[in-house]
């Protein structure tokens, strides 16, 4: 069974630009969550999607948005990039039936975003 895939693996953008990251979950998984990992703040929850609906959102500004498609693939968009958005962005998929509180999440390798 293929794991969680994320594209692209690396991105370099400049301040003010926008970026879209993609995540393909494990087949059969209907929940996709996104996390930001930085040396200073650690791993922080961005949002979770289940059946094309956002079920919860972390404490991030509105510049961070996402969506999920009918095949459970998810995209995350960051607009008006800032230097502080440089991070590793991880997505995780799970069955979604119980919620992130109990479901096992399977993580992708991440997308390394660098903002210059």
Residue 93: in which H helix or E strand, if any?
Answer: strand 87-94
CB of 37 to other proteins, least distance (A): 9
Q: Whose Cβ is closer to other proteins: residue 77's or residue 98's? A: 98
Rounded Cα–Cα distance for residues 74 and 65 (Å): 11
Pairing outcome for strands 31-38 and 87-94 = antiparallel
Nearer to other proteins, 81 or 89 (CB): 89
* 58 vs 73, beta carbon nearer other proteins: 58
Q: What's the rounded Cα separation, in Å, for the pair 46 and 23?
A: 14
Q: Rounded to the nearest whole angstrom, what is the least distance from the CB of residue 35 to other proteins in the complex?
A: 8
Closer to other proteins by CB, 85 or 105: give it.
105
Least distance from C-beta 19 to other proteins, angstroms?
A: 20
| Nearest distance from C-beta of residue 47 to other proteins, angstroms | 9
Q: Per this entry, what is the length of the chain?
A: 116
SS3 100: coil
In the numeric block, the tokens 């799970």 are attached to: 94
Residues at the site binding other proteins, with contacts judged by CB under 8 A:
4, 33, 35, 42-45, 48, 55-56, 90, 92, 98-102, 104-110
């Amino acid at each position: 069974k293929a794991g969680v895939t994320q594209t692209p693996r690396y991105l370099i953008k400049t301040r003010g630009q926008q970026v879209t990251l993609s995540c393909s979950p494990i087949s059969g998984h209907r929940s996709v969550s996104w996390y930001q990992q930085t040396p200073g703040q650690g791993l922080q929850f961005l949002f979770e999607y289940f059946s094309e609906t956002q079920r919860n959102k972390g404490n991030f500004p509105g510049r961070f948005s996402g969506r999920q498609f009918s095949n459970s693939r998810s995209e995350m968009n960051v607009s008006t990039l800032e230097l502080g958005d440089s991070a590793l962005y991880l997505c995780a998929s799970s069955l979604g039936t119980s919620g992130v509180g109990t479901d096992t999440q399977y993580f992708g390798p991440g997308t390394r975003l660098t903002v210059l």
